[in-house]
Each structure stands twice: as C-alpha cells, then as structure tokens.
Structure 1
C-alpha cells in the first residue's frame, strides 16, 4: 500500500477541501491511501467521510494559537509515524508555513510535494514576507512542485523552478454537482424564492471572494429586476460586515445567507446565475462547479485564470467597470438564460482535463513515479 500524508483540510469546506475530497473519492484506494494531517483539534470539513473512505484524520495544535504545542505535536507525530508514508502532499495557498515539508524531510518521507492553490497573497503583511522568504527555500525541502494553474505556479515558485511545475487540474466529479430540477424546486421553496431571480455565490465570506462588491451590484440590480435576490453560500470572517453593509444599502431583504452547505450541486441548481467577482483565484473550483451545473457565470476578468472558462456560458467582466455596469450585464443575461446541457458539459470538461474520472488516473501515476 502506497500511503500519502495529506495536509490541506481545514474546518472550512472551501475549494482546497473540495478538491482533495473529489480526488480521494475516486482514487484507487486498494493501491493508494490518504491520511490527513490537520492543523486544528476541532472537527474538520468532511471528517466523517474521510474516515469512512479509510483515511485517518490526525489533529495537531494550531500554530497561530499554540505555537509551542503545535511544534511539539508535529515533531512527535512525524518522529513516530513518518516511516509509514511514501509521500507527503502539502496543499496551501501561501508558503508562509513550510514546517510540514521540513519535518517530512527530517524524518525521512521520500516524496515531498508542495501544491499551490492561489495566485496572490490573501494573508497579512507578515505572512506575505514569510511567503517571499520561503520561495527561495522551498527547493531545499520539496521534491515535487505542483500548482492548480499557471498563475498559481508563477506566484508560488521562482523562475528556476517553473520548468519543474506540474499543473494538477481541479477536476470535478461531474455527477455530484450536475443540475437537478428536483433539488432546484426544493431549495427555492425552502427559501421562498420560487418566483425570484436568484443570483448565487459559493465561497468563504472573505475579501478575496469580494462579496462586498456583490452587494454593490445587488444595490443596482434590484432597481432593474425587483425580484432579484443574492444567495451567499458559505461562512467566513466577513459575514457580520456583509450583513451590516446590506442593511446600509437597504437591500437586506434581497440577500440570503445560507451558511455552509454540503449539497453544493443542489444550491447551484437553485441559482439562475452564478456571480464570481473574486479579486484573485488560483483557479476557482466554485466557477468550475457552476459550469458543470450548466449555470451562466459572470466572473472578474484579468484576475481569474482564463483557463477557467470551459463553456460558452462563462462570461468575463472587469471589476473596474463598476457595480452598476455589472448589474446591467446581469440584467441583460437574465433575458436569455439557458443552462448548458449535460452532454456539452461532459465534452468540454473531458477535453480540457477537468473530468475527475480521467484525471485521477494521472494523479495516481504522479504519486507512484520516482523522484
């Protein structure tokens, strides 16, 4: 059995967590097994399913809250268990912390993979400085360099490493987020929006995802489409700020905060249009899932990688055009909304390398190959 120690699962069911779970569900677990090292003693996203699939979930203290305990628990675990693993796979959005790779090298895990999932700094200035410092050190500790997109690779790695980078597509299990008329009716009835024009966004409530801009868009959109509502699926540190801002804009009755939801396919089915105004993305799994569901998507141009566009229903728009211009574009799209049919979705995603059933075989080979 080839065993991989995976870092990247947190308490929040975000894009990285969804990516890892998608591959873990599909990988040949008779040959390759994942265990998950988590930087928290709290329950993490999808913990029950990770265990049901055969993975161990190892909790250690959070570095930011208990730094000494964190170092002791990380070292203690690696000292005792590192020899059980053929690879460590570190999935992060920043190089501010490379302790897991350092410990993996010290205690003898032969294949040490660093995987970039973002294309800009989303942390404070101190962590930004740490990221820049560790860019110059990462070659000392990692043996393999992966990224979710070319943009994510260029931000993470120095020029001399770029030739070594392997792009791992954020492939999707098409069936899990496919459109469902039944789920659409159920969720729209649950939130009393059966006759509404539902604009949706899925993601952490965080400045990166730019939901504040989405609220400004809604301020203008409700003047054009009075029945419009914005459904925000997720949780995060900006939640209270967003609720307060909605009240200030007098659109609180047009904004629905659903919190974290497990059935993303169901919520996507309930939407009429997917709003994706992020300030930056490594790639953007939410945008991929929306396209699988067939949804029209309007996404920020120049900051979200262009390779995210896989169907003709995906539209780019510049953030600097302003909220009113975005609202006008959405109002225009509302007159010609059609979901992409499943056959076209499967063809586009398979051709572009985003069909999990195909891509998981490639991942298996990457794990098993020698350095």
Structure 2
C-alpha cells in the first residue's frame, strides 16, 4: 500500500477541503491510502467520511494558539509514523508555515509535495512576510511543486520553479453537485422562498470572497426587483460584519445566512443566479460547481481565472464598475434564466480536464512517481 500523509483539511468545509475529498472519494484505495494531518483537536470537515473511506485523521494542537504543544505533538507523531509514508502532500493558500515539509524531510519522507491553492495573500502582513521568506527556500524542503492554476504557481514559486510546477485541476464529481429539481423544491420550501428569485454565493465569509460587495449589489437589485433574496452559504470571520451591513442597508429580511452545508448541490439547485465577486481566487471550486449545476454565474473580471469559464452561462464583470452596474447586469441575466444542458456540461468539463472521473488517474500517477 502506498501511503500519503495529507495536510489541508480544516474545520471549515472550504475549497481546499472539497478538492481533497473529491479526489479521495475517487482514488483507487486498494493502491493508495491517505491519512490526514490536521492542525486542530476539533472535528474537521468531512471527518466521518474520511474515516469511513479508510483514512486516519490525526489531530495536533493549533500552531497559532498553542505553539509549544503543536511542535511537541508534530515531532512525536513524525518520530513514530514518518516511516509509514511514501509521500507527504501539503495543501495550503500561503507559504507562511512550511513546518510539515521541514519535518517530513528530517524524518525521511522521500516525496514532499507543496500544493498552491491561491493566487494572492489572504492573511495579515506577518504571514505575508513569512510567505515571501519561505518562497525563497521552499525548494530546500519540497521535491514536487503543484498549483491549482498558473496564477497560483506564480504566487508561490520563484521563476525557476514555475516551469517545474504541475497544474492539478480542481476536478469536480459532476453527479454530486448537478442540478436536482427535487432538492431545489426542498431547500426553497425550507426557507419559504419558493416564489422568489434567489441570488446565491457559496464560500467562506471572508474579505477574499467579497460578500460585503454582494450586499451592496443586493440593495440596488432589490429596489427594482423586490421579490428576491440573497443566500450566503458558508461561515467565517466576516459574518458579524455582514449582518451589520445588511441592517445598515435595510435589506436584512432579504439576506439568508445558511451557514455551512454538506450538500452544496442542493443549495446550488435552489439558486437562480450565482454571484461571484471575489477579490482574488486561485481556481475556484465554487465557480466550477455552480456551472456543473447549470447556473448563470456573474464573476469578477481579471480576478477569477479565465480557465474557470467552461460554459456559456458564465459571465464576467469588473469590480470597479460598482455595485449598481452589477445589479443592472444581474437584471439582464434574470430576464432569461436558463440552466446549461447536462450533456453540454459533461462534455465541456471532461474536455477541459475538470471531470474527476478522468483526472483521478493522472493524480494517482503523479502521487506515485519517484
């Protein structure tokens, strides 16, 4: 059995977590097995499912809260178990912490993969400083350099490493997030929005995802289209701020905070339009899943990588155009709401390398390469 120690699963079921569990469901687990090293003692996203698929979930203390305990537990785990693994695969959005690669090298794990999942800094200045320092020396500790997009590779790696970077597609399990009329009815009935036009966003409630701007858009859009709501699926640091902003704009009754949800396909099915105004992205799983569901998407131009657009229902708009202009664009989209045909979705995603059923074989090969 070829064993891989994977870092990247947190308590929040975000894009990286979705990416990892999508592939883990599909890999040939008679040949390759994943264990998950998690920087928290709390239950992490998908933990029960990961265990049911045969993976161990290893919890160590959080570095930011208990640094001494974190170092002790990480060292003790590696001393006992590093020899069990042929590879370590570190999935992160910045290089602020490369301890897992350093200790993997120290304890003799031969294949050490660093995988970039973002294209800009989403942290504070200290972590940005650490990222820039570690960017200079990442090749001392990693043997393989992966990224979700070309932009993500540029953000993580010096020029000489960018040519070595392997792009791993954020491939999707199409059936899992495809449109369901039945699920649409269930969710819309649950929230009492059966007769409403539903704008939706899925993502961590964080400045990167720009939900504050989505609220500004909603204010303008609802003035002309009162029978509408905006549903935000996710949780995060900005939640309190978003509640306050909704009150200030007098649109509180039009905003649904749905929290973290496991069945994203059901919530996408309940939406009519996917609002995607991020200020930066690596290669968004949320944007891909929205298209798999057939939704019209309005996304920030020059921010969302162009390779995310796989269907004709995906539209770009500049953030600097402002909330009112975005609201006008949504109004145009709402006049002719039509989901993309399922066969067209499967064709486009397979050809572009975003169908998990075809991409998983490539990942298995890359993981087991010497």
User: Structure 1, residues 255-297: CA drift from partner, whole Å, max 9, x if none?
Assistant: 0001100000000000000000000000110000000000000
**Residue equivalent to 2:274:** 274
Counterpart-to-counterpart distance in 2, 1:369 and 1:6: 16
**Residue equivalent to 1:49:** 49
- How many residues matched? 370
Residue 304 of structure 1 deviates from its aligned partner by 1.2
**Residue equivalent to 1:139:** 139
Counterpart-to-counterpart distance in 1, 2:271 and 2:299: 15
Counterpart-to-counterpart distance in 2, 1:92 and 1:227: 40
**Residue equivalent to 1:246:** 246
User: Structure 1, residues 157-202: CA drift from partner, whole Å, max 9, x if none?
Assistant: 0001011100000000000000000000110010000010000000
Residue 368 of structure 1 deviates from its aligned partner by 1.1
Residue 213 of structure 1 deviates from its aligned partner by 0.2
Counterpart-to-counterpart distance in 1, 2:29 and 2:42: 26
**Deviation >6 Å, runs of 4+:** none
Q: CA RMSD in A?
A: 0.4
Q: Secondary structure, in 3 states, of the residue corresponding to 1:103?
A: helix
TM-score, normalised via structure 2 length: 1.00
Counterpart-to-counterpart distance in 1, 2:5 and 2:231: 36
Residue 224 of structure 1 deviates from its aligned partner by 1.6
Counterpart-to-counterpart distance in 2, 1:352 and 1:41: 38
User: Structure 1, residues 297-354: CA drift from partner, whole Å, max 9, x if none?
Assistant: 0000101111000000000000000000000000010001100011000000000000
| Paired residues for 1:334-345 under 5 Å | 334-345=334-345
**Structure 1: unaligned runs, 5 residues or longer:** none
**Residue equivalent to 2:364:** 364
Residue 228 of structure 1 deviates from its aligned partner by 1.4
Counterpart-to-counterpart distance in 1, 2:186 and 2:367: 41
Counterpart-to-counterpart distance in 1, 2:224 and 2:130: 46
Counterpart-to-counterpart distance in 2, 1:264 and 1:224: 29
Q: Secondary structure, in 3 states, of the residue corresponding to 1:298?
A: strand
TM-score, normalised via structure 1 length: 0.99
**Residue equivalent to 1:173:** 173
**Residue equivalent to 2:330:** 330
| Paired residues for 1:69-108 under 5 Å | 69-108=69-108
Structure 1 residue 225 corresponds to structure 2 residue 228: no
Counterpart-to-counterpart distance in 1, 2:234 and 2:125: 25
Q: Secondary structure, in 3 states, of the residue corresponding to 1:208?
A: coil
**Residue equivalent to 1:305:** 305
Counterpart-to-counterpart distance in 2, 1:187 and 1:97: 39
